[in-house]
Structure 1
Amino acid sequence: MKKIILNKNNRIKLLGLLLVLSPVFAWSQKQTLSLDQAIETAKSHNRELRIDSMGIGKSVQQTAITRGLLLPNINLTGQYQHYFQKPVFFGLNGNSSSSERIDYARFGGEDLAGAQVSLVQPIYNSGAKQEIQRRRLLEKQSVLTFRQKEIDVVAQVKQNYVRQLVLSERLKLQNESILRNRKALADSRYLLAQGRGLRVDTLRAYTLVKNLEPDVLRLTYALQISQQQLRNLLGDVSETEYVLADSLELSPADSIPSESGTYRLSVQQRPDLQILTLNKEISDKEIELYKSARRPVVNFVSQYQLQTQTNQFRFGNAAYPPVFFAGVQFAIPIFSGNQHVNRIALGKIERQQADLIYNNAQENLKTEVKQILASLIETSERIKTQRGVSQTAELSYSITKYRYEKGVSTRLELTDAELALTTAKANYLESVFDYLSAKIELDRVTGSGI
């Protein structure tokens, strides 16, 4: 009876644990994902891209704010004052120089009120026009920054996707190798028990199996980390496990472009180089902006005013005489402590700096293009070699296995053939990964990754 009660309590605890963990199990679900789907999801939901897209909106608003410098400025103001002692006016005794005393009197009402509507319309402001043009260039720059970030994110998604495919193949290859070596270990133990095998063969087979098991753990954790990185790139906050729908594919017909053509294409299409070109234009606009600060500013001004005075808050019986005027106001800068001169000199230095940065980026691009194309050539040749080596190793393992089963080859020869087969396939996968990575990098460098 006591055992029945204990079993019932265990079942209740197990049921409660399942109820608690069921949301977790339901949340961690699998989802099939192709490379194109991953790229589109990243474009829509990647957090870094969303931040940069907001930067575009900020630049547009900054341009709109600056454009307001050329629009009219209309203000409505009003005031009310109560005098406990009426305002004082001096000079009522005239301009007599014999009197040392200047008489005064108090006039007006105790309560004063007024309202004004003022208008200021810029007529000539060279600085405002230069600033608007500069802001438009900054707006283009924010769009190019977003495009560059989009290219980088797409390249990261492709790289992560290919890495997971290669890791899955490596894990599969490693498990196959462990299965073969475990079978060899079981055969060695059987022969040792029958007295027809050596203990050293069993120890060697056991060592090989144990040496392979840590690689499985390493590859498994690498896959989990890559899955987490992919979720971050896609803007996924859940624990979804993505099942990759695509497979490793090589296109033998793909030709490697020329170095000069790749360089020209990169200069034309890369957003970061276009940003550096815009930096030079922005520096020119800043110099013009500093120069415009030395030019006059002309505004049209106008004001309509109503004012009144009364006593004891009798505003209903008070008079409201209007005052209206219109005119032109101008300001001519004469001396500002050499600030304008120094700012112009600063702008010229920044313009020279922008030229040097652009030229340096071009030289670095030449080196980068040469390195990527060299990697493509090297990895494509390595793939051809490793493909042949893998086929040879597989044939060698089959022959050695057949000879071993017939009692012609030794266990050591079969072990060496199995190790050579695993190494050849792993090297082939590594070559494929390096080649696809170089192609992804080529798309990123040329600005055609999206």
Structure 2
Amino acid sequence: MKRSNLIILLLLIALHGSAQTAKRISLPEALSIAATGNRQLQIQALEEAYRKEVTRETRSRLLPNVAAGASYQRYFDRQVIFLPGSFAGTAKPVQDVAVGGKNAFNGLVTASQPILNEGAWRQTKAAAYDEKIQREKTADLKGNLGTQISIAYFDMLLMQSQLALHRQSLERNEKALKDTRSLFAQGRSLKQDTLRAFIAVENLRSSISYLHNNLEVAGIQLKRLIGMDDSTTLELSDTLAAEMPVAGAYALEDAMATAASRRNDMAVQKLLTEKSVLDIAVAKAERLPQITAVGQYQLQAQADNFRQGQYVWPPTSFVGLQIAMPIFTGNRLKAKISQAGVRKQQELIGQDDLRQSVRAELASLLSQWKEANEQLRIQQRTVELAQISYGMMDDRYRNGLSTRLELTDAELALTQARLNHLQAIYLHKVVHVRLQRAQGLLQLP
């Protein structure tokens, strides 16, 4: 290889290595990063900001409105008005008279202030409800993200722990394969024993490869949830530590009471129900009169030339009240009121359905929580017994009282017990996270 090509290759390798920056992260840190890095949360935050601006826009209908305007027209023919002939000095019943200048200038300032506009007031209250709903949806999304990130983190911890156990088992099985081959060469072991040990080693290698690939996929998913760059190498600082079974149990009614006061989706549904009542009032308000105070100040001038210093600018101004009230709208308002009533019934049914759904979810999770605690106790005891059994069998093998096959079986039982224990720890953590989420107690920082 040419020297220049070798230098380029080394530079590329160096650049690639520098791009693969490693970041060590704990679960609380992952949740904290997701609070600002998750893209779905960013979109929802913008939706919340959008609703704030909609509320401001709706409220502006109750505030004064001031506008200024100016215009210029050039007439090729003078404007015409029609007067009785007697006014114009002719015998015609109606006489057209050319008036005004060919250049017309006009400037005005208008102002209006709603005095009575119940519809706009109620729409402003409805917009404020929409703003509250979006805030609750943002909090609900944070809770969902917290659950997803926690479970994804535990998934990776479980796979890392399983990988470590499989590698330890692989070392022991490779040693067993080496011993079996040695015994077979001495005529003290069957070929079947060697083949069995070889298959066990290959199965472990396959499991390690499978877990390693799944771990990479889980890391990609976790980085997406957190909002981290794909080029960052993620390292988890937490471990899937052994849990102690929790004494006692949650009471369904207590959990339901907590959920009713803390769950954001239930708060959203409650706000939607209250807003549906307000929507009926908004629709009815369109039948009410609207009163607006108005005023205007106007300056205008006309001439045939552009000697504006010689123009006369007579002012015109007024103040007054405008009253508007619908009399017949082709049953449009009646239909809108009926639509709002139907929507209210839907939201009431939805609120009751959500409450029943939450109750069923909590009952299921509480049952899973009880089972997770029981399984954790059982698996902890099983690991202790499997460890004792393996130690006893190892002593017997060293003293020539048992075969390598019996020791291999004891090692397999110990590895399986440890894997089951890891799975029990994982399920215990996951059920706890879901139970916290179901009560509305899990949020991003």
Matched residue, 1:65: 57
Partner secondary structure for residue 316 of structure 1: helix
Q: Which of 282, 286, 289 lines up with 2:282 in the alignment?
A: 289
Q: Give structure 1 regions of 4+ aligned residues with deviation exceeding 6 angstroms.
A: none
**Alignment partners' CA distance in 1, 2:82 and 2:127:** 54
Q: How does 1:294-309 map to 2 (within 5 A)?
A: 294-309=287-302
Would the aligned equivalents of 2:280 and 2:341 in 1 still touch at CA under 8 Å? yes
Q: Is the 8 A contact 1:302 1:325 kept in 2?
A: yes
SS of 2:401 mapped into structure 1: coil
Which residue number in structure 2 is paired with residue 241 of structure 1? 233
In the TM superposition, residue 251 of structure 1 has moved relative to its aligned partner by 4.0
Aligned-residue CA RMSD (Å)? 1.8
CA distance in 2, matches of 1:309, 1:251: 94
Aligned length: 441
CA contact under 8 A between 1:73 and 1:121: conserved in structure 2? yes
Q: Is 1:317 equivalent to 2:332 in the alignment? A: no
Alpha-carbon distance between aligned partners in 2 of 1:211 and 1:418, rounded to the nearest angstrom: 15
Tell me if the contact between 1:27 and 1:238 (Cα under 8 Å) persists in the aligned partners: no
Is 2:124 the counterpart of 1:135?
Answer: no
CA distance in 2 between counterparts of 1:313 and 1:92 reads 32
Q: Which position in structure 2 is the counterpart of 1:113?
A: 105
**CA distance, structure 2, for counterparts of residue 293 and residue 92 of structure 1:** 45
Letter in 1 for 2:313: Y
Q: 1:255-281: per-residue Cα shift (whole Å, max 9, x none)?
A: 432111111101110010000000011
In 2, are the aligned partners of 1:158 and 1:440 still within 8 Å (CA)? yes
List gaps (5 residues or longer) in structure 1.
Answer: 1-5
Q: CA deviation at 1:413?
A: 1.9
Correspondence 1:137-216 to 2 at 5 A: 137-216=129-208
Amino acid at match of 1:104: D
Q: After superposition, what is the alpha-carbon deviation per residue over 1:356-402, rounded to whole angstroms, capped at 9, x for unaligned? A: 10100111111100111111110111111111111211221222222
Partners in 2 of 1:34 and 1:176 — Cα distance? 25
Offset of residue 92 of structure 1: 4.2
Q: What residue is the counterpart of 1:84 in the other structure?
A: 76
Secondary structure of the 2:187 match is coil
* Counterpart position of 1:416: 409
CA shift, 1:100, in A, is: 7.4
How many angstroms apart in 2 are the aligned matches of 1:58 and 1:393?
Answer: 60
Indicate yes or no: 2:269 matched with 1:276.
Answer: yes
For 1:15 and 1:220, how far apart are their aligned partners in 2? 33
Q: What does residue 260 of structure 2 align with?
A: 267
Residue identity in the other structure for 1:117: V
| Secondary structure of 1:39 counterpart | helix
CA contact (8 A) 1:28 1:238 kept: no
Corresponding position: 1:426 with 2:419: yes
Query: What is aligned with 1:3?
Result: none
Asked if structure 2 preserves the Cα contact closer than 8 Å seen for 1:92 and 1:105, the reply is no
- Partner Cα distance (1:12, 1:126) in 2: 81
Superposed displacement of residue 40, structure 1: 1.2
8 Å contact 2:118–2:288 — kept in the other structure? Answer: yes
Taking the aligned partners of 1:255 and 1:239, their CA distance within structure 2 comes to: 45
Moved more, 409-418 or 345-354: 409-418
* Matched residue SS, 1:335: coil
* Maintained 8 Å contact 1:35/1:246: yes
Post-superposition CA distance 1:171-227 (Å, at most 9, x none): 011111111111111111111112222111111111111122111011111111121
- For normalisation by structure 1, the TM-score amounts to 0.94
Classify the secondary structure of the residue corresponding to 1:134.
Answer: helix
Alpha-carbon separation, structure 1, partners of 2:100 and 2:414: 109
Distance 2:170 2:129 in 1: 61
Q: Distance in 2 between matches of 1:412 and 1:94?
A: 132
Shift of residue 425, structure 1, vs aligned partner: 1.1
Give 2:430's aligned residue. Answer: 437
- Aligned counterparts of 2:23 and 2:314: Cα–Cα separation in 1: 78
Q: Are residues 246 and 414 of structure 1, via their aligned partners in 2, closer, same or farther at CA, if it must alter by over 3 Å?
A: same
SS in 1 for 2:128: helix
Q: Deviations over 1:69-94 (max 9, x none)?
A: 01111111111111111112223424
Report the Cα offset of residue 16 of structure 1.
Answer: 1.5
Partner of 1:91, secondary structure, is strand
Is 1:405 matched with 2:398? Answer: yes
Residue 22 of structure 1 pairs with residue 14 of structure 2: yes
Q: What is the TM-score normalised by the length of structure 2?
A: 0.95
Corresponding residue number in structure 1 for 2:352: 359
Match of 1:327 in 2: 320
User: Given the superposition, is the C-alpha separation of residues 213 and 376 from structure 1 closer, same or farther in structure 2, using an over 3 Å criterion?
Assistant: same
Whole-angstrom CA distance in 1 between matches of 2:391 and 2:4 = 55
CA distance in 2, matches of 1:13, 1:310: 85
Distance 1:130 1:195 in 2: 95
Instruction: Give the gaps of 5 or more residues in structure 2.
Output: none
